[in-house]
């Protein structure tokens, strides 16, 4: 989402190389680049003006100390201001109330409220919370049915509602049910419209007054751009917002909403939707997002994702093999593909890597279909063949290709990629990390 912004800001660093200190003169062009980058990213003009003014005040006269270059010093200032623009630090949900804690979701139709309600329920269920979902969108039967299906999928309770009922009555009945059945959290999914209108705002204000939520979260589509700012302003005037959830952050929009909505609403961004999958909701860390925008990557989030998805025992066995430089076979290779799939695939991983490493892997064709084909080829092999790929001669390759429904050429491509991966494992075992990074294009299938 932030590719163009990242590229422009990297040019800023190059422009400031060789300068002894940051002055009004040498940061003028840098600030112009930052301003253009933000405007192209569809950040609201008032936000841009305020942001540039703060950077100028802090950058002029900044001494370049130690081993830092002026470019690095400038990026440090931009990083701090970007993080501040998006909230400064992660903002947890407030559960310091007598259960059930009510979370009210508000936003326009199409912003992803219903899906986000289920994603949030799944996240809280993972924190041992007993969650109840309810839909007050009595204008769209499909929304009520969708939430019921998603509730079943994530394993949480759903309070029934139907077209013809009053939204406030539904919410009050759901709250009463949650109290009697010892639910920790009640998530209320509200109706949206294609555009702001008085009836919708009046209804959601009534809902807020009826259930007195501890959290009122504004759901905003990251791909809306300037429209997101106008929508955020309208909801802020109608409701005491306590937080924002950005959806579709994995899209190809320019990212203006992410950088504008905190400034406009005054409410912290608490979560971000990073994929369409039901587990695609993450806690929003402003400082980490600032690092990603500046091409520094978000390795902490990548590590956290790995901890959640990777089997500790299997990881330990794999680490021992890597350390010894022996025993890495096609079964291990298939297991690594499965772990990558759990973490959202290669594209999701690259998005969190520093720009330099991500560029090294550009042009990758890895996707779910590719992983499935790799697994299909390996599954067509016997256990002995997976352990000893050197046994695979022409007749065996033809049998494997036929069993997997692929060509012999694809079997050969997989074996070549596996051979390169084996070499990388041996480099790591010998301490050749730099060699490994230079050769990482061959580490994973689909990289060129």
Angstrom CA distances, 419 to 65, 278, 397, 424, stand at: 46, 35, 16, 9
Provide, rounded to the nearest whole percent, the portion of the chain with pLDDT above 70.
Answer: 67
Q: Angle 286-293/70-85 helices, nearest 10 degrees?
A: 140
User: Residue 118 pLDDT more than 90?
Assistant: yes
Rg (CA), the chain: 25
Reported as a single tens digit per residue, the pLDDT across 272-288 is 888 788 888 888 887 77
Backbone angles phi, psi at 193, to 5 degrees: -125, 170
At residue 191, the pLDDT reads 86
Paired with 219 in beta bridges are 245
Paired with 134 in beta bridges are 159, 188
pLDDT, mean of residues 362-367? 49
Return the residue matching tokens 């066995």.
Answer: 317
If pLDDT is split at 50, 70 and 90, which confidence band does 61 have?
low
Reported as a single tens digit per residue, the pLDDT across 172-185 is 999 999 999 999 99
Reported as a single tens digit per residue, the pLDDT across 311-331 is 556 555 655 655 555 667 788
* H helix intervals, 325-393: 330-342, 345-350, 355-360, 368-379, 383-387
If pLDDT is split at 50, 70 and 90, which confidence band does 188 have?
very high
How far apart are the C-alpha atoms of 199 and 191, rounded to whole Å? 11
Angstrom CA distances, 107 to 192, 198, 346, stand at: 6, 14, 31
If pLDDT is split at 50, 70 and 90, which confidence band does 86 have?
confident
At residue 213, the pLDDT reads 93
Contacts of 160 (CB under 8 A, 6+ apart): 148
pLDDT, mean of residues 437-446? 44
Closest CA to 294 of 10, 72, 44, 97: 10
At residue 287, the pLDDT reads 77
39 within 8 A of 45, measured Cβ to Cβ = yes
User: Residue 47 pLDDT more than 70?
Assistant: yes
If pLDDT is split at 50, 70 and 90, which confidence band does 444 have?
very low
Domains in the chain (CATH in brackets) are 3-85 (1.20.120.140), 101-294 (3.40.50.300), 302-442 (1.10.260.30)
291 compared with 13, residue with greater pLDDT: 291
17 compared with 86, residue with greater pLDDT: 86
How far apart are the C-alpha atoms of 84 and 69, rounded to whole Å? 23
User: Residue 163 pLDDT more than 50?
Assistant: yes
pLDDT, mean of residues 351-364? 47
User: Residue 439 pLDDT more than 90?
Assistant: no
Paired with 105 in beta bridges are 189, 217
Min mean pLDDT across 236-240, 363-367, 369-373 is at: 363-367
User: Residue 48 pLDDT more than 70?
Assistant: yes
How far apart are the C-alpha atoms of 99 and 178, rounded to whole Å? 9
Does the predicted model carry a pTM greater than 0.75? no
Neighbours of 85 (CB within 10 A): 22
User: Residue 354 pLDDT more than 50?
Assistant: no
398 compared with 257, residue with greater pLDDT: 398
The one-character DSSP state at 20 is S
16 within 8 A of 74, measured Cβ to Cβ = yes
pLDDT, mean of residues 158-176? 91
pLDDT, mean of residues 154-170? 90
78 within 8 A of 33, measured Cβ to Cβ = no
For residue 274, give the 3-state DSSP assignment.
Answer: coil
At residue 214, the pLDDT reads 92
Task: Tell me the torsion sign for CA atoms 9, 15, 18, 19.
Answer: negative
CA trace torsion 4, 5, 7, 11 (10° rounding): 140
How far apart are the C-alpha atoms of 149 and 93, rounded to whole Å? 25
Before 100, cis peptide (omega within 30)?
yes
> Between β-strands 131-135 and 157-159, what pairing exists: parallel, antiparallel or unpaired?
parallel
Backbone angles phi, psi at 135, to 5 degrees: -105, 130
User: Strands across the sheet with 215-221, in order?
Assistant: 157-159, 131-135, 185-189, 101-106, 215-221, 243-247, 269-273, 281-283
At residue 120, the pLDDT reads 93
pLDDT, mean of residues 67-90? 73
pLDDT, mean of residues 133-158? 90
């Amino acid at each position: 989402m932030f590719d163009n912004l990242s590229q422009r800001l990297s040019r800023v660093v190059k422009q400031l190389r060789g300068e002894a200190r940051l002055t009004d003169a040498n940061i003028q062009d840098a600030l112009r680049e930052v301003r253009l980058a933000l405007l192209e990213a569809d950040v609201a003009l008032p936000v841009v003006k305020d942001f540039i003014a703060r950077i100028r005040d802090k950058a002029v006269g900044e001494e370049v100390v130690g081993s830092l270059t002026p470019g690095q010093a400038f990026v440090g200032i931009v990083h701090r201001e970007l993080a501040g623009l998006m909230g400064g630090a992660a903002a947890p949900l407030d559960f310091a109330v007598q259960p059930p804690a009510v979370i009210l979701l508000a936003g326009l139709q199409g912003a992803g409220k219903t899906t986000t309600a289920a994603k949030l329920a799944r996240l809280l269920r993972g924190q041992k919370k007993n969650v109840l979902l309810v839909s007050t969108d009595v204008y769209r039967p499909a929304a009520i049915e969708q939430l019921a299906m998603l509730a079943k999928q994530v394993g949480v309770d759903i309070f029934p509602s139907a077209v013809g009922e009053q939204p406030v009555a539904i919410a009050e009945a759901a709250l009463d049910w949650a109290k009697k059945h010892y639910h920790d959290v009640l998530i209320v999914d509200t109706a949206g419209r294609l555009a702001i209108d008085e009836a919708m705002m009046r209804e959601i204000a009534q809902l807020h007054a009826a259930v007195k939520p501890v959290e009122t979260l504004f759901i905003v589509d990251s791909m809306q751009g300037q429209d997101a700012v106008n929508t955020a302003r309208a909801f802020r005037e109608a409701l005491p917002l306590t937080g924002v959830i950005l959806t579709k952050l994995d899209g190809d929009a320019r990212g203006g909403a992410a950088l504008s909505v905190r400034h406009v609403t005054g409410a912290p961004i608490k979560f971000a939707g990073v994929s369409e999958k039901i587990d695609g909701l993450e806690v929003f860390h402003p400082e980490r997002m600032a690092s990603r925008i500046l091409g520094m990557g978000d390795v902490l989030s990548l590590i956290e994702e790995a901890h959640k998805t990777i089997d500790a025992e299997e990881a330990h066995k794999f680490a021992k093999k890597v350390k010894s430089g022996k025993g890495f076979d096609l079964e291990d290779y298939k297991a690594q593909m499965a772990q990558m799939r759990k973490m959202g695939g290669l594209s999701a991983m690259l998005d969190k890597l520093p720009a330099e490493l991500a560029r090294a892997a550009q042009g990758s064709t890895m996707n779910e279909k590719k992983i499935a084909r790799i697994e299909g080829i390996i599954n067509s092999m016997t256990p002995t063949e997976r352990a000893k790929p050197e046994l695979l001669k022409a007749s065996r390759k033809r049998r494997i290709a036929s069993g997997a429904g692929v060509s012999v050429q694809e079997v050969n491509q997989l074996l070549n990629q596996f051979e390169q991966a084996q070499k990388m494992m041996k480099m790591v075992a010998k301490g050749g990390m730099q060699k490994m990074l230079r050769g990482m294009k061959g580490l994973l299938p689909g990289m060129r």
